[in-house]
Amino acid sequence: MNSPLARAWLVLIFLTGIAMWTGGPSGEAHLGTLGIGAVVVASGFKAVSILRNFLELERASAGWRFAIYGYVAVLGGIIFAAYAVLTGST
């Protein structure tokens, strides 16, 4: 398991497991704000791992990395905020 791509796959599998454990495989459980936050954070780490390892963002300039990672963070924040507002959670 010395390949960076193999390690990235293991990380993706682990993060998917965390998201499934938190949200439940059927997706029917009410997670609450903390649960949704955990799923959004795990999904954000998955997105960054895919961008870095499979789309070679690590080779891009610092400006591109900052913009793309910022986009992932803002999108995760918007999803989390929308959930919190729509469900009335604080």
- Residues 11-53: tens digit of each pLDDT: 889 888 887 777 666 666 677 788 888 888 888 988 998 999 8
pLDDT band at 79 (very low <50, low <70, confident <90, very high): very high
Q: Which residues contact 56 (CB under 8 A, 6 or more apart)?
A: none
| Element spanning 18, H or E | helix 4-23
pLDDT at 64: 94
Question: Which has the closest alpha carbon to 64: 88, 83, 55?
Answer: 55
Query: Are the CB atoms for 45 and 15 separated by under 8 Å?
Result: yes
pLDDT at 39: 84
pLDDT at 25: 64
What is the model's pTM? Answer: 0.76
